Homo-oligomer: A and B are copies of this chain.
Amino acid sequence: MDGAATIPDHSLASVSSLEGQLVPTRLHPESAQSATSTRRALLAGDARPDAVDLSHHLSDMAKSRLTSPLKSLYGYMQQPGMLLLAGGLPPAELFPFESISAETLAKNSFKTTEVGFGAWLWSWIAGTKKTDLWTLNKFDADKTKIQLSSALQYGTAAGLAPLAKFIHEFTERVYQPGTADFRTVINAGSTDAWGKIATTLSNPGDGILCEEWTYPSALASVWPSGLKPVTLLMDNEGMTPEGMDDLLSAWNPDERGGMKRPRILYTIPVCQNPTGATMSLERKKAIYALAVKYDVIIVEDDPYYFLQAGEYEPVPKMRAAKQPKKTETDEEFLASLVPSYLKLDYQGRVVRIDTFSKTICPGSRLGWTTCNPLFAERLERANESSTQAASGFAQALVGGLLAEQWGFEGYLRWLKGIKAQYRDRRNTLVDALLDSAHASLDTRQAGAAFEYWTRDERDEKGLLVREKGGAGAGRKILSFVSPEGGMFVWLRVHFAEHPSFQRRATSDLLMELWTDLAEHNVLVAPGTMFDASEFPPAPPKADELALTDAGDGFFRIAFSTATPEQMKEAAKVIGQRVEKFFRA
């Protein structure tokens, strides 16, 4: 099948046949005129280019996704007085939900300036929690409001109009995409979105570039479609341009089992899962230049973007001093976040995945994808023939909160509070890990890799002996780089210092230590599950030996869920058990 012939003009509204009914695609606020957006944009003083032609990236599957042959119906559906007997839509009168009300936290529920994890908890206990009560009706007299009769009806790939409009404007103002004709597509959560993006752009047997440590569900999503991870070296800032350039410049299909040079990069650039690494703007520019050079599509999965809390300040008393006295302005807040790849993208080769999972709630199963109009149209067809629209309950409730209650400025205020909450959580866990390892304060250098040494390498005052180079110096057993936010500390365990290291595999030692921690009531994630070069991961085998081994193993420790007291207790147990483990 000739792909180009099956791809419709995305400037036309399409008609989808959801559940056998014919419903007009609700027009995305910007999408209807996307084909002429540059003209409009230029008229409006917008000098951004449109996306270049990237149609050669579409997969065979994407090209074979069908468009309704009944687009010609659309015009008739809008005809005044039309009697609609085409679609099998249940009447809204038979939906049992007459109205849905939500009691939601005030947008400024979480302080942004004050260090202190317990502040909100205190206000909650004291009964001062501020909430707003609002209602969505099946048939609201105010026709500009969300109507449950629409939200709970069959929807279209474009999504509920007020939410779609909010999302498009949010994307424009926050990420400032480099192309004028970018589009946003509401999705049913990042995992589903990524699977559809990958199969829209890759054929079975293709490679997917990814960080050497990455979110395993992203790989699991595309593995059954025959897509294989191709790993990129990382440092403390994430994947490296040098590693990417070296890999792609030297790519030889003959040495790779016939695999063509990968065209898709899956990356988590901010507070990366699992390593916590955040990429600088300079590095993003270098990676983007390589993407242009090697014709790579960058898929930016960025769930932790608004959890960018800034560098860890090791001295608690310095924290308040460094913080602004008032809540930062919207401009200051947005400037504090490393720009998205979208901003650098003058060709339309960035596909960005946003989610409400971390900023509203994971159960929403709601987010959006931002990309060029060609890819967006194919992704909408993929949604139509699977999940259809995201759940109308989720679209109505999240849309009601964002578009009708909070608005753009209100949501930014909420995000500032969320960011502060994760900053305090990060500080709590990092403080506790340093405390439990009896590290002296002078080791708390911002941005540095913190190191734990065994207790018996301390001097008589209890201070660490830190002669790293010295032959008789202490054994470095743990280290980590404090993350700039997000949810995770990536703890490196230097198993090469373990007495059994020469006889046992690192993975074996890792699982022994992990099990020991679990038996002492601390559950962390073993790093092996995030190892993209060993994907799919095999269950750990205790009897597997390796005489030589890299020697480092990892644990991912989450500071997102546990209370401060739990984090402190866990850090204490980790310090004790690790030390005991290395004495064994």
Contact = CB atoms under 8 A, between A and B. Distances in A.
Interface of A: 17-22, 61-62, 64-66, 69-70, 72-73, 76-77, 79, 81-105, 109-110, 120-121, 124, 129, 131, 151-155, 188-192, 195, 215-217, 220-221, 223-225, 273-274, 303, 357-358, 360-366, 382, 384-397, 401, 414, 418, 421, 487-488, 518, 521-526, 529-530, 536-540, 556-562, 566-567, 569-570, 573
A192 B390 CA distance: 11
Contact of A102 (B97, B366, B559): B97
Given A85-B570, A100-B102, A387-B387, 16 more contacts: A17-B529, A62-B224, A69-B539, A85-B522, A86-B523, A87-B561, A88-B487, A88-B561, A89-B560, A100-B103, A101-B102, A153-B362, A155-B363, A189-B388, A220-B385, A393-B394
Contacts of A104: 96-98
Contacts of A190: 19
The 6 closest A-B pairs by CB, nearest first: A363-B392, A391-B391, A152-B363, A152-B361, A393-B393, A95-B361
A316 to B, nearest CB: 21
Contacts of A85: 522-524, 557-559, 561-562, 566-567, 570
A120 B362 CA distance: 39
B385 A521 contact: no
Nearest to A1: B536
A404 B526 CA distance: 39
A523 B83 contact: yes
Contact of A361 (B97, B418, B559, B566): B97
Contacts of A223: 64-66, 385
A400 to B, nearest CB: 11
A195 B385 CA distance: 8
A217 B73 CA distance: 17
Contacts of A96: 104-105, 109, 360-361, 401, 414
A101 B100 contact: yes
A385 B522 contact: no
A153 B362 CA distance: 5
A332 B72 CA distance: 46
Contacts of A540: 69
Given A188-B387, A191-B387, A394-B394, A562 B83 contact: yes
Given A525-B22, A570-B85, A397 B100 contact: yes
B391 A364 contact: yes
Contact of A17 (B216, B364, B559): B216
Contacts of A109: 96
A223 to B, nearest CB: 6
B488 A88 contact: yes
Given A103-B99, A521-B82, A562-B83, A362 B19 contact: yes
Contacts of A526: 70
Please give the count of copies of this chain that the complex contains.
2
Nearest to A363: B392
A61 B217 contact: no
Contacts of A129: 98
A86 B525 CA distance: 5
Contacts of A536: 66, 69
B385 A224 contact: yes
A16 to B, nearest CB: 8
Given A83-B570, A103-B97, A385-B220, A90 B560 contact: yes
A102 B103 CA distance: 12
Contact of A393 (B18, B79, B397, B537): B397
B362 A390 contact: no
A372 B539 CA distance: 26
A433 to B, nearest CB: 11
B418 A390 contact: no
A303 B363 contact: no
A567 B83 CA distance: 8
A406 B270 CA distance: 46
Contacts of A488: 88
A216 B20 contact: yes
Nearest to A70: B529
A391 B367 CA distance: 12
B88 A98 contact: no
A103 B82 CA distance: 32
Contacts of A391: 188, 363-366, 390-391, 393-394
28 contacts: A19-B191, A20-B215, A20-B216, A20-B217, A20-B274, A61-B225, A64-B223, A82-B522, A85-B523, A85-B567, A86-B524, A86-B556, A88-B487, A89-B558, A94-B421, A95-B361, A97-B361, A100-B100, A155-B362, A188-B188, A188-B365, A189-B388, A191-B386, A217-B385, A224-B382, A365-B389, A365-B391, A390-B391
Contact of A152 (B362, B385, B559): B362
The interface centre, meaning the residue of A81, A82, A90, A216 with most chain B CB atoms within 10 A of its CB, is A90
Contact of A365 (B100, B216, B392): B392
Given A73-B523, A220-B385, A153 B418 contact: no
Contacts of A69: 529, 536-540
A132 to B, nearest CB: 9
A215 B16 CA distance: 13
